[in-house]
Amino acid sequence: MNPVINPITLALITLSAQVAAQHPGHGKCQLDRLKTLGVAQEDVETVLEIARHIREEVTTRFDEALDAVLLATLTSATPQRAEAVSVTAECCGTSNRCC
């Protein structure tokens, strides 16, 4: 079974996802499509407001989780070990030194 989503709904969903994910295209293609489809500016603004709220909430929660990890990591390491990790670790599994 393949459900079919009408083009307006699909464009609104895609725009919302792009804004929430901070897509580099800024949703321009979807905005153009919605304008062509005759979607009211107020409807687009509502979708953008929701997407921005989701993005901000996710960013806040990510930052809170990152702060908790940082605190736990920094309080459990000795100063000598922390210095050694920052100089020698390869944290992302590549040859890039990102730690």
77 contact partners, CB below 8 Å, separation of at least 6: 85
* Cα separation, 90 vs 99, whole angstroms: 6
Residues present in the chain in total: 99
* 84 Cβ contact list (under 8 Å, min separation 6): none
pLDDT tens for the chain, 99 residues: list them.
566 899 999 999 999 999 988 888 888 999 999 999 999 999 999 999 999 999 999 888 888 888 888 888 888 755 555 454 444 444 555 554 554
CB half-sphere exposure, 81, CA atoms < 13 A: 6
pTM of the model: 0.60
34, 15 Cβ separation under 8 angstroms: yes
- The domain ranges of the chain are 7-88
